[in-house]
Structure 1
Amino acid sequence: MAGGGNAIRGSRVGAGPMGEAERGEAAPRQAVTYFCSHGHRSVVTFAIEAQVPDSWDCPKCGLPASLDSDNPPPAPRIEPYKTHLAYVKERRSDAEAKDILEEALSLLRSRRKAGDIVF
């Protein structure tokens, strides 16, 4: 094994964590509290000059949270999965579908009569 297997490099024994002297001064901050519909309270820290958003995703449950503790935003409504056929039926009536099918079948039959290879 080459190198002696030192797990920590670039640090001396007894060195503590870097302090503000090495990192520089911390920017002034503000703590903002958000509330979700599950009753979770989340405190998020922003810089003083930052524009605070009206909503924030709750880190505990993922629901939207707002600044208003009395009226947190409701959970978003989850739409059920729709099949391709369901979307088609939203756009076309049964009569339109029948007309399109008849048109496609007549085209297919005419191509077969003409000798085209149709799968």
Structure 2
Amino acid sequence: MASGNAIRGSRVGAGPMGEAERGESAPRSRISFWCANKHETRPSFAAEAVIPDTWDCPRCGFPAGQDEHNPPAPSRNEPYKTHLAYVRERRTDADGEAILAEALAKLRGEI
């Protein structure tokens, strides 16, 4: 049984689209970038665009540069810190003992 959809398997605006319908493409240039893992990335830039010094590698995420033999060094990622690690950076063990003693005294009703 037919579903009643006359334009099955198509979408609005579908059809052959060429330069004749869209207009001429802007002049472009492809620039090679290499990361520390020797991956090559070739993004396309407009001819008059300013080319960046680095580009993120889509395969590994490392920064990539235009010099194949001297790529930029990968950035160093800091490990995730817990809340307790941040507290330990700000307070000494003696401070922690004092705060704990004060909190326990409040709970016991001594203060």
Q: Same fold (TM over 0.5)?
A: yes
The structure 1 segments of at least 4 consecutive aligned residues displaced by more than 3 Å after TM superposition are: 9-12
1:113 Cα offset (Å): 5.9
> Residue type matched to 2:22 in 1?
R
Residue in 2 aligned with 1:21? 20
CA distance in 2, matches of 1:10, 1:97: 67
Compare CA radii of gyration and give the structure with the larger one.
Answer: 1
CA distance in 2, matches of 1:59, 1:113: 61
Residue in 2 aligned with 1:6? 8
Q: Say if 2:38 is the partner of 1:61.
A: no
Q: Count matched residues.
A: 109
RMSD, matched Cα:
2.5
Contiguous gaps of at least 5 residues in structure 2: none
1:10 Cα offset (Å): 6.0
More displaced, 93-102 or 2-11? Answer: 2-11
TM-score normalised to the size of structure 1? 0.75
TM-score normalised to the size of structure 2? 0.79
Percent of aligned pairs sharing the same letter? 51
Taking a change above 3 Å as real, the CA distance of residues 40 and 113 of structure 1, as seen in their structure-2 partners, is: closer
Residue in 2 aligned with 1:32? 31
> Residue type matched to 1:2 in 2?
G
Taking a change above 3 Å as real, the CA distance of residues 90 and 44 of structure 1, as seen in their structure-2 partners, is: same
Contiguous gaps of at least 5 residues in structure 1: 115-119
1:64 Cα offset (Å): 1.3
Aligned residue runs from structure 1 range 102-113, under 5 A:
102-109=101-108, 112=109
Q: Say if 2:41 is the partner of 1:42.
A: yes
